[in-house]
Amino acid sequence: MGSQLEPAELRNKLEDLSGVEIKPGQNPYEALIDICNGRPADIQALYATHRTARNAQQKEKFLTSDFKELIIDQVLLRLEDKNIELGFQDLRNCFVFWARPPDHIVRLAVHLQNLLKETAPGLWLMPPHRMHLTTLEVAHSRTPEEIADIVSKARPSLSKLTNITYTRRSRLVKPFISYDLSAFAVSFLPAAGEKVLSPAPVLPHDKSIAHPGWDDGCTEKADSYTYHHLRRDVFDLAKSTGVEIGSRYVVPSAHITLGRYLNHAGHTTPEQRRAWIQRIDYINNWLEKEVWDVADGEFIGEWIVGQERGLDARCGTLWYGGGRTIVSGEGF
């Protein structure tokens, strides 16, 4: 059975560095939209502020002269190395709504994993088929029975929730490596009028649905509904089912976890840690020059949430991309 281990995120809390304050009882995603007056460019700017400020914060932690250690995920370590604690099980059950990246984003993410592994070969990497973007975490670290009860309450609305991306479409752009002492990810920003790089999505069959799309090239109009608006709407719909939303954190971040540290290999000396940071800076510079806003490059760094698959309502022990799908929405 699983022993009581301190979760890695408690030692490296994901705090909101955008400066947005959430009022008690308020939809936490509405707060950022309100402060930006719904303007996509301002919403994008706050997402950018959060990720650049956090990277700067974490860089200082890696390069400080009194660096102590990486934050090793002890649960994942025991799952990967069965000899540490025989019979160990991860007992943290969750209920979430994931956005699954389309194939071209998975291909980019795998390429980024390979680039990072060149500098630190001992990394644990998220398997491609498990990659996900958490749109809403409803409950975490609960028993199977508690999760089953929550899912039962939400079940009548799961089809509506998972299919929301078919008619409410939002774009993510400008991939960037984000990192801390426990993990690393590729993060995205909500689009704000950038040129469309990927194929235009299929319009809803129901023409009565008012949906500004990318078919007429009016990206400014289409991007008025951002990924943060989507998160707000999913939160409201989930809450309307009567379930209590118990997310670990609510920050302006749209990230796909690429991997975690299982040991200190490649990060033991100051020189190794400096090389790690330099590698991340190099990759981010490459992404900005060769992927952002590049229509004919090797990789496409933009995606419309819901491409190929709608949202994935998922439960179980899914901390590292596992668990099971309850309902999956229709893609386009």
In the prediction, which pLDDT does 210 show?
A: 45
Q: pLDDT (tens digit, 9 = 90+) per residue, 156-192?
A: 999 999 999 999 999 999 999 999 999 999 999 999 9
Taking the model in full, what pTM does it have? 0.90
Residues of the chain scoring pLDDT < 70: 1-25, 199-220
H or E stretch at 222: helix 219-222
What residues contact residue 84 under an 8 Å CB cut-off, 6+ apart? 77, 78
Q: Is the dihedral of CA 37, 168, 126, 7 positive or negative?
A: positive
Q: What is the mean pLDDT of the chain?
A: 89
**Rounded distance between C-alpha atoms, residue 320 and residue 94, angstroms:** 11
Q: What pLDDT score does 1 carry?
A: 45
pLDDT for 71: 96
Could you tell me the residue ranges of all domains in the chain? 30-328
The span from the first CA to the last CA of the chain, in angstroms, equals 42
Residues 30-328, CATH architecture: Alpha-Beta Complex (3.90)
pLDDT at 168: 93
CB atoms within 10 A of CB 112: 25
